Structure 1
Amino acid sequence: MKRNVIVIFISILTLLAQLVLAQNTWTTTNRKDPMTEKITWYALSPSVSPIEKMSFPYEKTQASIVVARQGKEEWVYISFNVRPNIVGGSIVDGYEVITTRIKWDNSQPVYAKFLTQFGSKLLLFENTMEIIQKILLHRKLIVELDWYGQGLVHFEFSLEGAANAITQIRRK
């Protein structure tokens, strides 16, 4: 009896560990456009909250990095569960352009540009190929955003498992 309880306990711990790991790794998925029949593949980072606590109405804000591929075209963006309320951007050709600091691993911060449309939950990296190459080479990315009413907030994304997920969508 005691042995059975120990085996069950170890099995439950193993299952819980697998669930935690599954939530903390990059995943892949796809979507078929019903109009064109084209399939877009996605590599998604785990969702993260900002390092700093944000107040209402942003206290439950989460973000993920997404690398998308359709045919030979690729793009990378940050996807939020709420519309990001970023200040300091400028309007160019109908898009808001946001220039902000990002940091790869423990290197010095550099500036990056994002594009977004009004009302969108996505921030598209401007220089896709360079960003994807850096995602493949690094372990961590921190993005700084000047969020309305919150000040500077930082999102830290794990890039562990990104290379495998990106390789998977490139093979499709």
Structure 2
Amino acid sequence: MSKKTKRIIVIVVLFAFVVSSLYVEAIISQQKKQSNTQTKTIYRQDSKQSTSSKNNFPDPLIINSEGFITIGVRYLNPIKDDKDNLVFEVFLDNHQIDLSTLNFNGKVLFSTSEGIKVNNAKWWIEGSGHHVMAFIKIPKKINGKSLITPKTKYIQLELQNIGGVKSRIYRWDKKFLN
């Protein structure tokens, strides 16, 4: 193969790479614009892990794609109960910052349909980089009183000021509270 042919091949490959990169960037940008205000509740029933063995109903995973961090939260107690705490598994995903440096102090507010509010959650992050998992634990009882009673219609977890979004609300209704 001549030098001229090799140069032409290299130029064509580089051109194709640049064009495809710009195309992918445009698609991602368009998807971000469309999902900037999307919060969706996903009730997965496609695997053994996503169905509670003790209650046989789908486990809730709620995903919020606002801002530059996508955050999904799963309420774990219907799947694997913790006798002392309400436990939430948090999935964080982005392509801009190292998420292991996030600080949830003062950014987690738990509330119930009865107006009970708790803002002193325990939390920790596992992993590092752009895709990490966090866990949030809230005591089931405060001052001897249960947070969830037979009258509770829903529980709600609010994550505040994370990833450029003032407030993200994650809510689970009565069917997940028994």
TM-score, structure 2 normalization: 0.46
TM-score, structure 1 normalization: 0.47
Which of structures 1 and 2 has the larger relative contact order (alpha carbons within 8 angstroms, sep 6+)? Answer: 1
